[in-house]
Each structure stands twice: as C-alpha cells, then as structure tokens.
Chains A and B, each alone.
Chain A
Amino acid sequence: MSVTEQQYAPGEHPDLPPPLGEAGLIAWFKKRLFSSVGNTILTLVAVFFLYHVLSAIIFWTLTGATFTGETKADCDLGGACWLVIGDRFHQFMYGLYPTDQYWRPNLTFILMVVAIVPVLFDNIPHRGKFLLFSAIFPFIAFYLLSGGWGLETVDTDEWGGLLLTLVLGVTGIVASLPIGIVLALGRRSNMPIVRTLCVCFIEFIRGVPLITILFMASNMLPLFLPEGVNFDKLLRALIGVALFSSAYMAEVIRGGLQAIPKGQYEGADAMGLSYWQSMRLIILPQALRIVIPGIVNTFIGLYKDTTLVSIIGLFDLIGIGLVAVADVKWRGLAPETYAFIALLFFISCFAMSRYSLWLENKLHTGHKR
C-alpha cells in the first residue's frame, strides 16, 4: 500500500488527488503478462501462436502477394494474386453501370456521406439544414442513379457491386427502423386489431427464411399482379429485405419498451402528454438507447444478408465475386476475391459497431440500469 500515510485530525482530512496508476510500461507488462510462472508460460505460448498466424497472414496478403502484372502468370511469389481485384475493380464498385456514367454513383456516394453525417452526429453546426438535406437525399439519390429528366436512364439491372450492396443495405436500414418502431408499438397497443395485425406480420416474417421471401418477391409476386404491371426486381428485393429486417427490429425494440419502468409511462401520463408525445419524448428515447446494441446487431445482420440477393440474379458484391471467380482468366483466385469482399464488408460493419459504442457512451447520463 502507500508509503507514507499521513495522519489527520478527525474532520480535518483534506481532499487528496486520486492515486496514480502504476507507472511505466514495464510495470504494466510485468503485472498483466508475467505475474506468475503460469502466466509467463501462457503469454509465451500466445505470442508464439500470434507470431505464426500473423506472419502467415502478412506474407499472403502483403509481402508474398503480387500487386502489379497483367495475367495470372505474373503471380509467382506464393502469396495472394491481387491482380484479379485490380482487373475487375470497376465491376466490384459499380457492377455493369455504364463506364461513362461512373460520376453519378460517385456523386451519390459523396452526397450520401453528407446526408448521413448530420443524422449520426448532433454536434455539427447548422444541423437542422443538413437534416433537411438528409430527408430529401433518397430522392436525389434515386434520380442520380436511375436517371431520366435529362440524365441517361440506367436500368437497375445494370447496378451492381458495392453500389448495389450499399443501396440495399442503406435502404433496408433506413426503412427498417421506423417500420420496426411502428410494429413494436402496435404489438403493445391496446387496440386488438392493430395488435393482431402486428403480431401476425412479425411472426410470419420471422418464421420464414429471408431467401424464401426474396424468391417469393422475385418469382411469385408477379403472378399475383395484374397483367402488364411489373415492378422492378431491385425494388422487390428492397421491399423484401426491409420487411424482413423490420420484423426483427420490432422485436428488438419491443424488448427495450418492456425494460422501461411503468413509472415512466405514468410520469408522462400524469403530466398530460398524449400517447404519441410520451412515446416520442419519453419512452422511445430511453427504450432505443437500451437496445442500441441489438439495433446495430440487426443492422449489421441485415447489411450482410443483402448478399442473398445474388441468388435471385442481382449482382451485388457477392454476385460480382461469383462472376469474377468463374472467369477463366483468373481461375482459382476465389480466396483473393472473397477476401476482398470480406474486407469491404468488414469496414462497413466495424464502423457501425464502433459508432454504436460511441453513441452508447455519449448517451450515458449517469442513471443506473
């Protein structure tokens, strides 16, 4: 313990600064990694394995990998052959989008960043105006990507790669949260018809695999529609993905609603707030905060589930990857292709999970749960 414990008369004890953490890197290492013989052995074994795994990964991805060249024959260093990515990079990004129109997805992406930032962070200046832009962004994006009104029309069949994955993921995320909230509130409603409808919807959607919903949306839906009415395949997939994830979202949010003590509802009622006011101002802000990890979990799951659309013939990242792997010129380069796709997914998903951690910390207001 401490070296000099000074004595004070009762009631005279001054406020002292808190004790310093144990100083020094060496002390830290000693305490955490080498505190006993057993721990030292464990540390050494772990280091040994880490070294082998990491050095193999670094060799394959970087030091032993080929970055320049023309054909597969140039890849003779023993590691990964990244040429396939370079060769098909544009397809990975845009799918079959017309080459001379690439500026449109690029511009959409930049505008998307501008639209998302004010939604995610509340401390930026003029947030209100930016939020207005966020609200109209989906329409701008739709116009930019699909064309018409002076821009060359690009069929959604030609959208692909990361572009398509982002369109599916972002639309699914943006749609599933509000639909999920409405479903969750509906399921807890006092009105029997509303409640029954919500329960049926949620249970039905949760009871079937996403892939069947996508198949139904792409193959069966046209059978039910009147002759001649034919709406876009991508749109159908979007609706399928959004409905699917909103059912999950609803249950996550319902969990949050149930965690709110009855006193909060009564406090809001006693003050004369209406149902929608108390939901919006009191209940949902707290419920959503409790379930941030669950919400982000659902978002991440949804984002990755969008890859299933490759099965109904849309060329998202996986769809493009399948084409690349099947290319005779690059035969046998599946690991590189999938590693690249994995990296792209990892970046987005990791960003989402870090954001959720940051948000949880920010919203922590000192009350215990």
Chain B
Amino acid sequence: MSNASTNTSKKTDEVAIQLNGVHKWYGQFHVLKDINLNVQRGERIVICGPSGSGKSTLIRCINRLEEHQQGDIIVDNIELTGNLKNIDAIRREVGMCFQHFNLFPHLSVLENCTLAPIWVRKMPKKEAEEIAMHYLERVKIPDQASKFPGQLSGGQQQRVAIARSLCMNPRIMLFDEPTSALDPEMIAEVLDTMIELAETGMTMLCVTHEMGFARKVADRVIFMDGGEIIEQNEPEEFFNNPQSERTQKFLSQILAH
C-alpha cells in the first residue's frame, strides 16, 4: 500500500461517541484508566497497542458488551447507563465485527444477515432479504447467500459478518481485530471491504495492527498501553514522528516484520 494517504476525510463537527473519564476494573485489575475520547461523526479511528492493553475492552464498552464502572459514555447522544432501553437503542445504531466473526452457524448466510433487521427493526422479510443481498453484493459474495457459515473461508466469513452488521444500517461500526484470525490473502480481501466502507463516510473505530490500513484510511491513530491512551495523532505524524518512548518501541516492534 502506498505511503501517501489516499484519505479523503469525511469527518464532521458532530460528535458521535464521547468518553469522559471512563474507568473499568476486572475484579481488582484496573483495565481502563481515565479514558477520554471524542469521536466525530464520519471519523475513522484506528486503535493499536500491545496485547492486554485494553483495546478490546475499550471498544466493547462502547456497545455495552462490557460494563464500565466510572465515567460517562455517550453514543449518538444517548448516554450508556444500566437502562436497558438506552443499551438497546445504542446497539441498534452500532455495528460490531469480531476477531472470530461470531456468525451464527445454524443459520444460512442470508438468514444471518436478515435476522436483526427482521427481529429488531421489524422489517418485512422480503425487504430485509433485498437489503441483505445488496450488502452481500457490496462485500462481493452474493453467490454464497444460501450457504452456511461453516462452508465458507475465513475471509468470506468476516465479509459476511461485515455485511450482517451493515444490514442494520448502523451509524457507527466497531471492529475488534477483524483480520487477525485470517491468512494474508484473506486479510487483503477483508481490508479492501473495510476501505470501501470507510470511503462511504461511516464512523469507524477499528482495533487492528494493520498499519497499512491505518495509514490509508484513518483520520486518527490511538495508541494504548496499560489501559491508558498514551498517544493519538494523525497517521502520518503518528508513524513518522511518534512522541512517547512506548509508542516508538511498539512501532519499531511491529514495523520490524
């Protein structure tokens, strides 16, 4: 991938996600320490950092797969509290892709994609199927619609997972290492899909170690370590001129390969 950023930012002034002084503990273990983060609508953010630094925990707090114990998380102007209504409202607007896809193995690809629109959005089945086919075409696997997830390659499964999230027409997409369980050839096909998605102006938060992807589409790269945001910057600045020692060390490690 080229070094020059092909990035045409779709960032707006509207705030999509706001985290103010967020703390989280697993038992005695302090995973997230005073996280402050504002994400603008249309902004693409890449989060990186060493293993165990709390990246997954952070983005999983945004759709309440994990509960934070202190601070405020406001997504799409809805405050994330114990209120189930708010949680449901946020989950409807926030799509998520996982490292291990988490497709539903007992449902066909098409059924995976239509499930949430039908049951959560109360969409008629036919309409949901049309939308599902539209997104399956966008991720370039419409011909696999009637297969089951277990019959697809990893890259295809992850693209189905992306299509499945998009079928809910989310305003924000979260990705947790979407390519780290894949072979290089499949990584490329999933990244291509994500780049295309980024170009539509979707607000994206992406945990990944694909630095080429970060350079190409990110508006901002965030580096986490030990549960804190150590450094954040535009990709060019971040990679060429890292400020903190820990960032330098991390970058030298992953770019060494």
A contact residues vs B (CB 8 Å cutoff): 263-264, 266-274, 277, 281-282, 285-286, 289, 363, 365-368
CA distance A365 to B98 in the complex (A): 22
Across the interface, name the chain A residue whose C-beta is closest to B150. A367
B10 within 8 A of A: no
CA distance A40 to B69 in the complex (A): 73
Which among B35-43, B114-122, B127-135 touches the partner chain? B114-122
| Distance between B111 CB and nearest chain A CB, rounded to angstroms | 10
CA distance A286 to B103 in the complex (A): 12
B151 within 8 A of A: yes
| Distance between A260 CB and nearest chain B CB, rounded to angstroms | 10
B154 within 8 A of A: no
Residues of A within 8 A of B98 (CB): 263, 266-267, 270
CA distance A366 to B164 in the complex (A): 20
Q: Which of A263, A272, A281, A289 contacts B92 (CB 8 A)?
A: A272
Residues of B within 8 A of A263 (CB): 98, 100, 102
Across the interface, name the chain A residue whose C-beta is closest to B65. A266
| Distance between A237 CB and nearest chain B CB, rounded to angstroms | 37
Residues of A within 8 A of B65 (CB): 266, 269-270
CA distance A270 to B95 in the complex (A): 7
Residues of A within 8 A of B91 (CB): 269-272
| Distance between A278 CB and nearest chain B CB, rounded to angstroms | 9
Whether B115 contacts A286 by the Cβ 8 Å rule is: no
Whether B88 contacts A285 by the Cβ 8 Å rule is: no
Residues of B within 8 A of A269 (CB): 63-65, 91
Whether A277 contacts B104 by the Cβ 8 Å rule is: no
Whether A271 contacts B88 by the Cβ 8 Å rule is: no
B163 within 8 A of A: no
CA distance A366 to B105 in the complex (A): 8
Residues of B within 8 A of A264 (CB): 102, 104
CA distance A26 to B105 in the complex (A): 43
Residues of B within 8 A of A268 (CB): 104
- Contact residues, B59-112 vs A (CB, 8 A): 63-65, 88, 91-92, 94-96, 98, 100, 102-106
Whether A272 contacts B148 by the Cβ 8 Å rule is: no
The answer to whether residues A274 and B88 also contact, given A269-B65, A281-B119 and a CB cut-off of 8 A, is yes
Residues of B within 8 A of A274 (CB): 88
Residues of A within 8 A of B63 (CB): 269-270
Of the listed residues B65, B96, B106, B150, the one surrounded by the most CB atoms of chain A closer than 10 A to its CB is: B106
CA distance A274 to B148 in the complex (A): 24
| 22 interchain pairs, CB-CB under 8 A | A263-B98, A263-B100, A264-B102, A266-B65, A266-B98, A266-B102, A267-B102, A268-B104, A269-B63, A269-B91, A270-B96, A271-B91, A271-B120, A272-B88, A281-B115, A286-B104, A286-B105, A365-B106, A365-B148, A365-B150, A366-B150, A367-B150
Residues of A within 8 A of B227 (CB): none
| Distance between A359 CB and nearest chain B CB, rounded to angstroms | 13
CA distance A268 to B150 in the complex (A): 18
| Distance between B193 CB and nearest chain A CB, rounded to angstroms | 18
CA distance A263 to B151 in the complex (A): 19
Across the interface, name the chain B residue whose C-beta is closest to A369. B105
B198 within 8 A of A: no
Residues of A within 8 A of B103 (CB): 267
CA distance A226 to B27 in the complex (A): 52
Residues of A within 8 A of B165 (CB): 271
Whether A272 contacts B120 by the Cβ 8 Å rule is: yes
Residues of B within 8 A of A266 (CB): 65, 98, 102
B235 within 8 A of A: no
B206 within 8 A of A: no
